[in-house]
Amino acid sequence: MLALAAALLLAAAPLPFPAPRMATVTEATKFDPGTVVAYDATRGELRVRCADGLVTFLAGGDVQVFNRDGTPLGPPSKLVAGQKVRVWYVVDHGARVLEIAVE
């Protein structure tokens, strides 16, 4: 019953950040905009300079990157240093990326 009430509140309340294209938003979903520093495909790590500093996200090849108009660009390996991005993620043994959008 408590879970249902929480779900209804979440559905009724506006998001504190822009909605992702495909990822399902939960109470655990977080969002940070920033600038790509580097992507390490071998380690599945995306480093982004955000407002609070440098953040290392866990972003495997299965993570989808979208461009401004919502067209899929492919995996994070398509990102280049200096690109402005928006990252949706959850904290689960690190900041695990759900979705990335290029600005």
Q: The CATH number of the domain where 43 resides is what?
A: 2.40.50.140
pLDDT given at position 71: 94
Give the per-residue SS3 of the chain. CHHHHHHHHHHHCCCCCCCCCCCCCCCCCEEEEEEEEEEECCCCEEEEEECCEEEEEECCCCCEEECCCCCEEECHHHCCCCCEEEEEEEECCCEEEEEEEEC
- Tally of domains in the chain: 1
Look at 6 and 70; give whichever has higher pLDDT.
70
pLDDT given at position 6: 55
In a domain, 81, yes or no: yes
Q: What is the extent of the structural domain holding 69?
A: 26-102
pLDDT band at residue 19 using 50, 70 and 90 as cut-offs: confident
- Model pTM score: 0.84
Say if residue 21's pLDDT is above 70: yes
Say if residue 92's pLDDT is above 70: yes
